[in-house]
Amino acid sequence: MDYASSLLNLLPAARRKPGLRELLNSVDDYLPAEQVERIRTAAEFGASAHLGQKRQSGEPYIAHPLAAAQILADLRLDPDTIIAAILHDVIEDTPISKQDLAEKFGQPVAEIVDGVTKLDQIQFRSREEAQAESFRKMVLAMVRDLRVILVKLADRMHNMRTLSAKTPVRRRASARETLDIYAPIAERLGLYGLKIELEDLGFRSLYPRRYRVLEKALKRARGNQKEFLAKIAGTLRSNLEKAGIKAEVQTREKHLYSIYRKMLRKRTALSEIVDVYGLRIVVDTADTCYRALGVVHASYKPMPGRFKDYIAIPRINGYQSLHTTLFGPNGVPIEVQLRTDDMHNVAESGIAAHWKYKSGENLDSVQQDRAREWLANLMLMQESGNSEEFLESVRVDLFPDKVYVFTPKGEILRLPRGATVVDFAYAVHTDVGNRCVAAKVDRRLAPLRTPLRNGQTVEVMTAKGARPNPGWVNFVVTAKARAAIRQYLKGLHRREAIELGARLINQALGEFNLTTDKIDEDIMAAAIAELGLRDRDELYERVGLGERLAPLVARRLLPTSTGEEAGAHGAAPLAIAGTEGLLVSYARCCFPIPGDPIFAFLSTGRGVVVHREECANVDDYRKHPENWLPVSWHAAADRHFSSEIRIEVANKMGVLAAVAAAVSGTDTNIERVSFEERDAETSLLIFELKVADRQHLARVIRVIRHMPEVLRVYRTIAAHGQPE
């Protein structure tokens, strides 16, 4: 009788739970007796903690954690991970505390369980926010111990296997979350075995009818294909043996969700997907992989453009193999993978291979290093934005990597498909991204938003004092770049809000011949405390963001003797120079420029929004006089402003080009052009220009007005009631 069986006989009959015998038999194959005893004790402890609890299917609750532990035992993971899987729900669902677990099973087990525990105890505004915050907490725990995600993936795997007990709505929600987050995480960490099953289970629950149709069609095609592949495999085995190469040749079949995604991506029918079945050749060394590749290509002609060398350039999760596609008999394409035994283990287990029990020795691995690098990027992401924004960034970051580009020194960077030059700059280093101003792609200057392709060499040029452009957020695809840009702009936004708030308060105090410098420190401190703020900077920031009104704050800062002597001098208008940054914006309904009579409105979160006085939208703002703000143009406004003009023209060949040439002839930049056809005789051209002031714009309009094709030219201004 083996050790696991003898332990089971010692358990009271009432305590023997489904799955425990299988689990103990599995761990008994590779763990010493004392560790099997620890796992048995954990199973007893978990059974007692969950006593009386049942799953929606009606089975005892302990069956779920035991099944999750079995998934990890099949990967031959270490005892602490197995025990944490058995106990992963006790903190959430029972009175057992983290401290209780630490005392009985050790701190590592307690930390893993705490990392997996959801945040059900905290109240959130929505289910989405709770889900996102739980995921954020799990990621933070993963940084401390990567085994957290292994337990979470095993938990999710068993939940997906038993999803039929849930309502259709809950099934679809779980399936969508699995396909969006957990299966890609498994792939990102190299856990392909888990990833494939999670995807197929999610596919079956999210699209049950499509799953059934595809499964049925695949079964019909399977017989002929298997026989066909067996012949090719036999030929390759024979040729490899003749070349003196010892190799294992396996047939392989793509899983359903992978086929479904390929059909969607290429918009093809199942009959047109050529690599549903393939071959895998496993050899002893990387050098033998390349020798075997030569034999394979000598046996069947390779398909041009379909060879990928993931041994020389591994995937971002550490995956290594040679991929090639052959012209088989009758021209049928056959996909072949070549790898070593070690590469195959990593391909199946990923970072889990790091915790496979090896007599207590846990050696660092390339996969673990890559996983930690990814988690460091996740940490950077979570520092900016809320939980839901973080979860969305993770979704974007989990897209499969497809682009491999080179630095000028020949180093390889792996980026997601669609990554731009700016993504590359931030992948090199955050400071390089923040200060990049131009770039060369394959030694030619290229715009920063240029999407990159495989094999390109990218050189980034930086400038001292340069800073990220807010518009970059609209086209970068990597979470690291997006998080770094937002983090920088968040700090910049705060500095500008503080500066603007100080100016607004000083403007309001000017009505009483005072400035903030003349306000007694005790009065300032009392006002800050009364408003529940930390310090003077936070007060200025709130005012600059429009969350506090400057006139009301100014009155709180007045010495009592100043009292009601307001209004004798009036507040001086706030001088607008056009260089205030993010907290002063110019309304796009009327496009104010220097020289226009202007009016400003303090908008919460946006700061100061400047309109022309004749703008129809101003009528609505006048209903809230507490948010009005007197403003004037600074004498030395030194920048160009957007202005929009509308030009009615006769429909003639080349009229748009002629007008654009006339505008360019006045040294004016054209930002945007649109075209509206009025009728058979006339059309409307809308030009957005960059001008210095009214005189500059008048000069442009004068040139256009004298063109024979032009019927009318005028500035854009909002019609009454038109939204901004």
pLDDT in tens, 123-167: 445 556 656 666 666 666 666 777 888 898 999 999 999 988 888
pLDDT, tens digit (0-9, with 9 covering 90-100), for 55-76: 888 889 999 999 999 999 988 8
pLDDT at 198: 94
When pLDDT is averaged across residues 645-664 and rounded to a whole number, the result is 89
Question: What's the rounded Cα separation, in Å, for the pair 53 and 80?
Answer: 24
When pLDDT is averaged across residues 79-84 and rounded to a whole number, the result is 93
**34 catalytically annotated:** no
Catalytic residue among 37, 92, 100, 388: 92
List all residues 6 or more positions away from 509 whose beta carbon is below 8 Å from its beta carbon.
Answer: 515, 516, 519, 554, 557
Overall CATH class of domain 399-477: alpha beta
pLDDT at 382: 58
| Contact predicate 198/183, CB 8 Å | yes
Sheet holding 248-253, edge to edge: 248-253, 277-283, 333-340, 322-327, 308-309
Which helix (H) or strand (E) segment holds residue 73: the answer is: helix 63-74
Band (pLDDT 50/70/90 cuts) for residue 313 is confident
Question: What's the rounded Cα separation, in Å, for the pair 82 and 78?
Answer: 7
pLDDT at 283: 94
Judge whether residue 461 has pLDDT over 70: yes
pLDDT at 5: 45
Question: What's the rounded Cα separation, in Å, for the pair 514 and 93?
Answer: 61
Would you list the domain boundaries of the chain? 3-206, 210-354, 399-477, 487-633, 641-715
User: CA separation (Å) from 96 to 63, 101, 129?
Assistant: 18, 7, 26
CA-CA-CA-CA dihedral for 258, 261, 267, 270, to nearest 10: 30
pLDDT, tens digit (0-9, with 9 covering 90-100), for 518-566: 888 888 888 888 778 888 888 888 777 767 777 768 877 877 655 444 4
Band (pLDDT 50/70/90 cuts) for residue 398 is low
Judge whether residue 397 has pLDDT over 60: no
* The token pair that represents 290 in the structure block: 């390349």
**92 catalytically annotated:** yes
Closest CA to 647 of 635, 631, 634, 663: 663
Q: What are phi and psi for residue 607, nearest 5 degrees?
A: 85, -135
Alpha-helix residue ranges (DSSP H) falling in 126-207: 127-144, 147-161, 168-177, 183-188, 192-206
Judge whether residue 18 has pLDDT over 50: no
When pLDDT is averaged across residues 83-89 and rounded to a whole number, the result is 93
| Contact predicate 594/633, CB 8 Å | yes
pLDDT at 115: 82
Question: What's the rounded Cα separation, in Å, for the pair 654 and 673?
Answer: 15
When pLDDT is averaged across residues 309-316 and rounded to a whole number, the result is 83
Band (pLDDT 50/70/90 cuts) for residue 674 is confident
Q: Which residue has the higher pLDDT, 7 or 472?
A: 472
Question: What's the rounded Cα separation, in Å, for the pair 184 and 197?
Answer: 12
pLDDT, tens digit (0-9, with 9 covering 90-100), for 318-334: 788 999 988 887 777 88
Look-up of token digits 């099934």:
171
pLDDT, tens digit (0-9, with 9 covering 90-100), for 238-286: 999 999 999 999 888 778 888 888 888 777 776 666 566 789 999 999 9
The full DSSP string for 482-519 is: HHHHHHHHHHHHHHHHHHHHHHHHHHHHGGGT--GGGS
Helix axes 33-49, 98-105, angle to 10 degrees: 150
pLDDT, tens digit (0-9, with 9 covering 90-100), for 624-639: 766 677 788 876 656 7
Which of the listed CATH numbers 3.40.250.10, 1.10.645.10, 3.40.50.720, 3.30.460.10 matches domain 210-354? 3.30.460.10
pLDDT at 616: 79
| Contact predicate 405/458, CB 8 Å | yes
When pLDDT is averaged across residues 559-580 and rounded to a whole number, the result is 54
Q: What are phi and psi for residue 60, nearest 5 degrees?
A: -60, 140
Q: Which residue has the higher pLDDT, 670 or 383?
A: 670
* The token pair that represents 466 in the structure block: 């340069």
pLDDT at 346: 76
Which of the listed CATH numbers 2.40.10.10, 3.40.640.10, 1.10.3210.10, 3.40.50.720 matches domain 3-206? 1.10.3210.10
Tell whether domain 641-715 is in CATH 3.40.50.880.
no
Catalytic residue among 44, 93, 100, 388: 93
Question: What's the rounded Cα separation, in Å, for the pair 426 and 429?
Answer: 5
Q: In this structure, what DSSP letter does residue 535 have?
A: S
| Contact predicate 531/547, CB 8 Å | no
